[in-house]
Amino acid sequence: MELDAFKIELATDKDVGLILAFIKELAHEESLSSQVTTDEGNLLHYLFGEQAQAEVIIGYYDSRPVSYALFFPDFSSFAGQPGIHLEDLYVRPEMRGKGIGLRMLKHLARLAMERGCGRVQWCSLKKNKSAARFYKGLGAVPLNEFLIFRLSGEVFESLVAD
């Protein structure tokens, strides 16, 4: 594959349908389709509204969308420095193993540096062994000493109501 035919662009509001399609493909692949509750209106509001909460880059090969990454700012209190949290990185199955994931992460790392960030971090499903190999091959370090906790749904709502 000629990677000269690959380019990365910051998504715009016109890409909302494509972004939702990517999210659904990723969720299906991870057997999490039932957890996708968002829609185009929701994504339009939170990705491209007045107070956008996240951004998306899209990778194109020969003008065909083949990958995406959704990310948002975070902050390290210990370092006193901003960072980027990568929520999703997805490459369509037929395009894997061609260097696209690496190009997407390099692009995101450059973007983080340009914004004065000191890190890019993300979570990966434990069962996704190929992703873990890929990330470790880049030199990324798993943070085994941390547990991820989440409040959502009824538990979240009841906490807020008390």
Which residue numbers are catalytic? 135
Measured between alpha carbons, how far is residue 87 from residues 10, 36, 84 in Å? 15, 14, 9
Q: Say if residue 117 is exposed, middle or buried (CB neighbours under 10 Å; 0-12, 13-18, 19+).
A: buried
> Is 127 strand, coil or helix?
coil
- DSSP line for 90-104: EE-GGGTTSSHHHHH
